[in-house]
Amino acid sequence: MAADERPQITLITPPTFDAETFSDRLGLILDGAEIACLRLSLATKDEDTLMRAADAAREAAHARDVAVVIDDHLILAERLGLDGVHLTDGARNVRKARKDLGADAIVGAFCKASRHEGMSAGEAGADYAAFGPIGETSLGDGSRAPFDLFEWWSEVIEVPIIAEGALTAELVERFGPVTDFFAVGEEIWGADDPLAALKALLKPLG
C-alpha cells in the first residue's frame, strides 16, 4: 500500500492509567510509530483525575506534534489546551461542539454502525466519523460496523472515516483500503510491549 494511501492511526488511551508513569509509556509508542492523534478515553468522571491524566498525555503528545482529543468533555478540552473532542453519542452534539470550540478545533463523532448518523455528523461539521466495532465483540448488543459501510463511505463521502473496535491484523488488512484511520487502544495496552503489539497489528499496511 502506497504511503499516501496508508490509513493514519489514532491511539486511544487505556480507560485508567497512572498519570505519573503513563507519559513515559505513551512516549515510547509515539516515538516508535507514526500516530496522527491521541484520544483520551477515560472511564473516570472525577475531574481532578481527568485533568491530571489529560495534562500528562497532552505533554507527551504535544512535544511530538501529535494532536489530542478527549471523549465528550467540551469544557475540559478548552480548559486544558487540547485540540478537540471525540463525541461518543453520534451527531447529536456536533454543532454545539463546533460552536463552542471554534472552527480550528477537531470535532469527531462515533456513530456505531449507522450510516445516517455518520452523514448527519458530517453535515453538522464533524471532522471525521468513526464506526465500529469492526471486529467480534460481546460488548454492547454485539452488532458490528460492516465492511460495505466503509466501502460505500470511501467512494461517496468526503468526510474522513475511522475504523475501530476489536481490531485484528486480518481486519486491518481487509479494511485498510476503505478507511482513512484506524483507532487502536485496548488491542495493545494489555501487552507487555504495547509498541510491538501495535506494529504487529498494523503489519499488513506495510
Percent pLDDT > 90 in the chain is 92
For the segment 60-99, what is each residue's pLDDT rounded down to a tens digit?
999 999 999 999 999 999 999 999 999 999 999 999 999 9
Section 106-124 average pLDDT: 97
Cell triple for residue 133? 466495532
175, 43, 112, 122: CA torsion to nearest 10: -90
Distance CA 174, CA 180 (A): 13
Section 104-129 average pLDDT: 98
Cell triple for residue 147? 465492511
pLDDT band at 31 (very low <50, low <70, confident <90, very high): very high
Distance CA 106, CA 51 (A): 19
For the segment 138-169, what is each residue's pLDDT rounded down to a tens digit?
777 778 999 999 999 999 999 999 999 999 99
Phi, psi dihedral angles at 6 (to 5 degrees): -70, 130
Coil vs helix vs strand at 169: helix
**pLDDT value at position 26?**
97
Section 176-188 average pLDDT: 97
Average pLDDT of the chain is 95
Say yes or no: domain 8-205 is CATH 3.40.50.300: no
Domain ranges of the chain: 8-205
